[in-house]
C-alpha cells in the first residue's frame, strides 16, 4: 500500500511531475506538500491495491510510506502542514485564534442584531446562532426554521460578519449553505453518516462537534467521511463529553482532546466551553484553559438577556461577561503565539 511518496532532497521538478503523472494515471489524485527540505506527495484514494514498488522505482523518490490509520486524509501523517481555512480574510487554524459567538438560538432580529453588533465590536470574528435546533425534548423550542435563516442573512449582510449555523439533515444543507459561511454539525449528529457525506460535497467549511460519547478515533473517522467526499475545510470542536460526574457541570470538557487532536490531525481545533460546562461562570476559566492547551478558537454562547433565552440561557454569557472574556483572552492567545 502506497500513501505518501517522500521525494529526495535533490529531486527535480521533472521527477516530481513524473510521480504526479503516475498517480493520476492510476486514477488517483495527488496532494503535493512542498516543505523547506523536501517535497512529499500524498495519494488520495483507496490505495490498498498499489504496491510500494510502483513508486519506489521512480527517479527522485526517497521513500514510500503506507498510512495504516483509518482516517487517512484527516491524519497529520498524510497531510503534515496545518489546514488554514480562510473566510473572507478571517483565518481559522494553527497560528490564528478566532472567536465565534452569539446566541444558542436565533429568537428574533433585535436579539441577533444586538448580540452580533456587540460581539463584533469586542473582537469576535464570526456570529453563531441556530435556527434548526436539536433539543432533548421535542416540546422545547426547536428554532425559528427558515424564518430564522432570513434573519441570519439580514444581520450578516447588515453588519458584514460571517456566520455559522447548524444543519440537522441532508435536505437542509443546500438552503443553509446559501446563507451560512460555516455549517455546524452538532454533537447529536456527529454520527449521521448521510449528513456527513452530504456536507462533504459542498465547498463551505464545516464545524464538526464531537459527539458527547465519542472516542477521539470515532470523531476523526467522522471528519474523514467529510474529507473523503472532497471537502477538506473541516473544523473540529470539542464541546464536552459525558462522564460519571454531572453534579456540578453539564458535561466534562475534555481539554486533553485539544493537544491530541492537534497532533493527530492537520485540521483546526476549537473549543465550546458553553456546552462543555453548562454554566456561565465556568466559561471564562475554561476558555483560558482551552487556549493554554493549544485551541485555535472558541465557540461561545452569548445572550443580551440570558434569563429570557429560549435555549441554554444558563450557560450563555451576558454582554458584560463577553466583554470581560475578550479582554482576558486576547493577551493569552497572543502569548500562545496566535494572531487574534
- Contacts with Mn ion by CB under 5 A lie at 104, 312
| Minimum CB distance to ligand PEP, residue 97 (Å) | 19
Q: Which residues contact 333 (CB under 8 A, 6 or more apart)?
A: 97, 291, 340
Of 168, 154, 164, the residue nearest 196 (C-alpha): 168
Binding-site residue total for ligand PEP (CB under 6 A)?
7
233 binds, among Mn ion, ligand PEP, none (CB under 5 to 8 A by kind): none
Q: 149: part of which helix (H) or strand (E)?
A: helix 146-159
Alpha-carbon torsion angle 333, 336, 337, 340, nearest 10: -10
| Minimum CB distance to ligand PEP, residue 284 (Å) | 18
* Binders in 56-115 for ligand PEP, by CB under 6 A: 104
Cβ atoms of 299 and 271 closer than 8 Å:
yes
Q: Among residues 254 and 312, whose Cβ is nearest to Mn ion? A: 312
Query: Which of 125, 262, 275, 338 forms a contact with ligand PEP (CB under 6 A)?
Result: 275
The answer to whether 187 contacts ligand PEP (rule: CB under 6 A) is yes
The answer to whether 303 contacts ligand PEP (rule: CB under 6 A) is no
The answer to whether 220 contacts ligand PEP (rule: CB under 6 A) is no
Query: Which of 11, 106, 130, 271 forms a contact with ligand PEP (CB under 6 A)?
Result: 130
Q: Among residues 74 and 184, whose Cβ is nearest to ligand PEP? A: 184
Cβ atoms of 326 and 336 closer than 8 Å:
no
Of 88, 67, 93, the residue nearest 266 (C-alpha): 93
| Minimum CB distance to Mn ion, residue 231 (Å) | 24
Question: Beta strand 39-44 with 269-271: parallel, antiparallel or unpaired?
Answer: unpaired
* Binders in 38-57 for ligand PEP, by CB under 6 A: none
168 binds, among ligand PEP, Mn ion, none (CB under 5 to 8 A by kind): none
Of 45, 37, 13, the residue nearest 4 (C-alpha): 45
Q: Which residues contact 191 (CB under 8 A, 6 or more apart)?
A: 211, 214, 218, 222
Query: Which of 22, 69, 72, 209 forms a contact with ligand PEP (CB under 6 A)?
Result: 209
| Minimum CB distance to Mn ion, residue 243 (Å) | 19
Of 163, 152, 219, the residue nearest 190 (C-alpha): 219
| Minimum CB distance to Mn ion, residue 94 (Å) | 27
Instruction: Return d(Cα 150, Cα 91) in angstroms, integer.
Output: 26
Cβ atoms of 309 and 104 closer than 8 Å:
yes
Q: Among residues 266 and 275, whose Cβ is nearest to ligand PEP? A: 275
| Minimum CB distance to Mn ion, residue 16 (Å) | 48
State in Å, rounded, how far the first CA of the chain is from the last one.
42
| Minimum CB distance to ligand PEP, residue 213 (Å) | 12
Q: Among residues 41 and 236, whose Cβ is nearest to ligand PEP? A: 236
Instruction: Return d(Cα 52, Cα 45) in angstroms, integer.
Output: 15
Residues that bind ligand PEP (CB under 6 A): 104, 130, 186-187, 209, 239, 275
Amino acid at each position: 500500500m502506497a500513501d505518501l511518496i517522500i521525494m529526495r532532497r535533490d529531486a527535480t521538478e521533472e521527477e516530481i511531475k513524473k510521480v504526479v503523472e503516475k498517480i493520476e494515471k492510476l486514477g488517483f489524485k495527488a496532494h503535493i506538500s512542498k516543505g523547506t527540505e523536501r517535497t512529499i506527495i500524498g495519494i488520495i484514494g483507496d490505495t490498498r491495491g498499489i504496491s510500494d514498488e510502483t513508486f519506489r522505482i521512480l527517479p527522485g523518490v526517497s521513500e514510500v510510506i503506507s498510512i495504516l490509520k483509518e482516517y487517512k486524509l484527516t491524519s497529520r501523517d498524510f497531510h503534515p502542514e496545518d489546514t488554514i481555512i480562510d473566510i473572507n480574510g478571517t483565518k481559522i487554524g494553527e497560528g490564528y485564534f478566532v472567536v465565534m459567538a452569539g446566541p444558542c438560538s436565533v429568537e428574533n432580529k433585535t436579539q441577533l442584531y444586538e448580540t452580533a453588533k456587540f460581539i463584533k465590536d469586542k473582537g469576535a470574528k464570526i456570529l453563531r446562532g441556530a435556527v434548526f435546533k436539536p433539543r432533548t425534548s421535542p416540546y422545547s423550542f426547536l428554532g425559528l426554521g427558515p424564518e430564522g435563516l432570513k434573519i441570519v442573512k439580514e444581520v450578516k449582510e447588515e453588519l458584514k460578519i460571517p456566520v455559522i449555523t447548524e444543519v440537522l439533515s441532508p435536505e437542509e444543507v443546500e438552503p443553509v449553505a446559501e446563507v451560512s459561511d460555516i455549517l455546524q454539525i452538532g454533537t447529536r449528529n456527529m454520527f449521521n453518516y448521510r449528513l456527513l457525506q452530504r456536507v462533504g460535497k459542498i465547498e463551505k467549511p464545516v464545524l464538526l462537534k464531537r459527539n458527547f460519547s465519542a472516542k477521539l478515533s470515532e470523531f476523526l473517522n467522522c471528519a474523514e467521511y467529510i474529507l473523503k467526499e472532497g471537502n477538506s475545510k473541516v473544523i473540529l470542536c470539542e464541546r464536552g463529553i459525558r462522564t460519571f460526574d454531572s453534579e456540578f457541570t453539564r458535561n466534562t470538557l475534555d481539554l486533553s482532546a485539544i493537544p491530541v487532536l492537534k497532533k493527530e490531525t492537520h485540521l483546526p481545533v476549537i473549543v465550546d466551553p458553553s456546552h462543555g460546562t453548562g454554566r456561565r461562570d465556568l466559561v471564562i476559566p475554561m476558555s483560558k484553559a482551552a487556549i493554554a492547551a493549544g485551541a485555535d478558537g472558541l465557540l461561545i454562547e452569548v445572550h443580551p438577556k440570558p434569563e429570557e433565552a429560549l435555549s441554554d440561557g444558563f450557560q450563555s454569557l451576558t454582554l458584560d461577561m463577553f466583554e470581560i472574556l475578550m479582554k482576558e483572552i486576547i493577551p493569552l492567545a497572543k502569548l500562545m503565539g496566535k494572531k487574534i
